[in-house]
Amino acid sequence: MPTDLPIAVTGATGTVGRALVAALLDGGHRVRALVRDPETSRFADADGLELVRADLTDPSTVAAAARGCEAVFLVWPFVKADGAEETVAALVEAGIRRIAYLSSVVADDDPSRPDGAVEKLVEQAVPDWTFLRPHGFMANAWHWMADLRAGESVQAAYGAAATAPIHEADLAAVAALALTEPHHSGRRYVLTGPAVITQAEQLAALAEATGLPLSWEELSPAAARERMRAVGRPPQVVDKVLDYQARRVQFPEEVLPTLAELTGRPGRTFATWAAEHTPALRAALKG
């Protein structure tokens, strides 16, 4: 049942945040989108939507923006947890008692990422928390756009790496439940999409949706490593990504039932993601 208080959404201009703003408004909830720059945030006026300026690295702005909200969707879009303690404390100081945090499936396993540390901070700070721990996003396909613009092929390793990526609207649906229903408190939801699909098959789905002759050009792991480093991706990230993909050629990810159990319907497929994003993909490929 919607309450009169708004729900604060951080990362509101991001992949999941933007989908969550739409989902909450659709559900009749009031939404306060916390954005760094309301002028460039590209939200259309909508009943129940306020845009409030806040920077996650400036806790006083976060406290001021979240005050009076029912709950907060927290994104921590940084490579380290530095500063998260102050920001979470600012939310508590603003009276927030329920937080749904967009964590990741590696929260327990990868201390080089901030997810696990931010989970601990949130868990200690508020009585009512839910952690979303997704596997990879379908939206990671946007990372291929620079390659595709240059020549309609993706040059990368492990085209046969098979994962179960999740649609941002499905993550948003789970976040909306966690923010508006009491019984998700204290839960860590590991989430995948509805089907296993290889990298090359994802690209084929983009080709099908856009009608463009996009192709996969398989590189050796060494060549892929060099290429990823050349475009500025940190060496330790490059190695982790390639190791993970190599494993997924032999051992595909498994589809988990969590999303369907929570939302009562199967997750959206990659073909659906590609079809929905066709105008944006075509525009990006021409740009």
Ligand X SMILES: NC(=O)c1ccc[n+]([C@@H]2O[C@H](COP(=O)([O-])OP(=O)(O)OC[C@H]3O[C@@H](n4cnc5c(N)ncnc54)[C@H](OP(=O)(O)O)[C@@H]3O)[C@@H](O)[C@H]2O)c1
For the CB of residue 197, give the shortest distance to ligand X in the complex, in Å: 14
Alpha carbon distance 149, 98 (integer Å): 43
Alpha carbon distance 51, 53 (integer Å): 7
For the CB of residue 17, give the shortest distance to ligand X in the complex, in Å: 5
Residues that bind ligand X (CB under 6 A): 11-17, 35-36, 55-57, 75-77, 102, 104, 134, 136-137, 140
CB nearer ligand X, residue 137 or residue 216 = 137
For the CB of residue 100, give the shortest distance to ligand X in the complex, in Å: 13
CB nearer ligand X, residue 49 or residue 75 = 75
Please report, for residues 61, 142, 144, 163, 237, the alpha-carbon distance to residue 228 in angstroms, rounded to integers and kept in the order given: 36, 15, 12, 20, 10
For the CB of residue 142, give the shortest distance to ligand X in the complex, in Å: 9
CB nearer ligand X, residue 52 or residue 214 = 52
Structure tokens at 42: 């590209």
For the CB of residue 263, give the shortest distance to ligand X in the complex, in Å: 18
CB nearer ligand X, residue 57 or residue 272 = 57
Q: Which residues contact 211 (CB under 8 A, 6 or more apart)?
A: none
- What 3-state DSSP class applies to 129? strand
| Interaxial angle between packed helices 221-230 and 235-250, expressed in degrees from 0 to 180 and rounded to the nearest 10 | 150
Phi, psi of 103 (to 5 degrees): -95, -145
Q: Closest residue (Cβ) to ligand X?
A: 14
CB nearer ligand X, residue 57 or residue 155 = 57
Structure tokens at 81: 């947890």
